[in-house]
Amino acid sequence: MINFAIRNIKVYFRDRTSVFFSVLSVLIIFVLYALFLGSSWQQTVPEGVTGGQALLDSWLMAGILAVISYTTTAGAYGTMVEDKAKKIYKDFQASPMKRSHIVAGYVLSSYVIGVIMSLIALVFLDVYMFIRNGYILSFMATIKSIGMILLVTLANSSMIFFIISFIKSLNAFGTFNTIVGTLIGFITGIYMPIFLFPTAIQLLIKLIPVSHAASLFRLIIMDEPIATSFDGAPLDIVARFKADLGVTFTIGTFEFTPLYQIIFLLITTIIFFGLSLLVINRKTK
């Protein structure tokens, strides 16, 4: 199983085009922020707040980590789709390797790839923050961010594997990635503040795991910039700012605390892995 996972990781990184398209959504977000979104988002920062650029840069950093943990994990499953499309999968099934080990090899490789790419992004964005604002994440914030990467990538891996298990062609896989890559900037509240969406859409977004991943990353990465920028500001202004930028989520009077969000991601992982096993067992029969 380990050797098979290593094979999948090598196949992914050997295909530079696949790697590029896995991070394309992130690159688009980064460019749009630099050219257009950065200046427009400045309007969301209340008057009198200092360090607005560092505040928004940290917000972008958190959103990108949520996005890249999803897109790179999805891109890594392209190896499984390609193996199915080229009938290579049948060779593996005919080998002494157990079917469960084959499945585990795909899942493990995609998870490892998602974690590796997210950690690289974390380092890059930390350097970016230092160059732009002279600010880097504290040791504890870095540890929390790494822990969140491990959890979020696991949840993403389980969801994507369930979806990918129904995809058999590279064209369908490409279409799926295109749709997700287009929507994910809206789902994570990067292209447009979540509060600007209709109430029904807001509710839907708050039920999508990747949105909570972005929220958790923002709580960690923006903690120090918010404390510095809003030092002495009324609590209601800080709460409004967090709600508007998707740092915190509420549905009615219920507020998603970090603990609830972590539990939500863990439940998501368990449910989708369970559904994936049911689909695989059904196909085996």
CA dihedral 152, 156, 159, 163 (to 10 degrees): 180
pTM above 0.85, yes or no: yes
pLDDT of residue 39: 59
With contact defined as beta carbons under 8 Å apart, do 138 and 58 qualify? no
pLDDT of residue 255: 87
Average pLDDT, whole number, for the chain? 82
Burial of 118 (0-12, 13-18, 19+ CB in 10 A): buried
Q: What percent of the chain has pLDDT above 70?
A: 87
Q: How many other CB atoms sit within 10 Å of the CB of residue 276?
A: 21
pLDDT of residue 24: 78
pLDDT tens for 160-194 read: 988 888 888 888 888 888 888 778 878 887 777 78
- Rg, C-alpha atoms of the chain: 20
Q: Which of 104, 145, 105 is nearest to 10 (CA)?
A: 105
Q: Which residue has the higher pLDDT, 116 or 284?
A: 116
pLDDT tens for 261-276 read: 999 999 999 998 888 8
Q: Is the per-residue pLDDT at 68 higher than 80?
A: yes
Cα maximum dimension of the chain: 67
Q: Is the per-residue pLDDT at 87 higher than 60?
A: yes
Please tell me the distance from the alpha carbon of residue 120 to that of residue 224, in angstroms, as a whole number. Answer: 22
Length of the chain equals: 285
Q: Is the per-residue pLDDT at 46 higher than 70?
A: no
With contact defined as beta carbons under 8 Å apart, do 272 and 158 qualify? yes
Domain count, the chain: 1
Please tell me the distance from the alpha carbon of residue 138 to that of residue 89, in angstroms, as a whole number. Answer: 45
With contact defined as beta carbons under 8 Å apart, do 114 and 69 qualify? yes
Domain boundaries, position 78: 2-284
Q: Is the per-residue pLDDT at 241 higher than 60?
A: yes
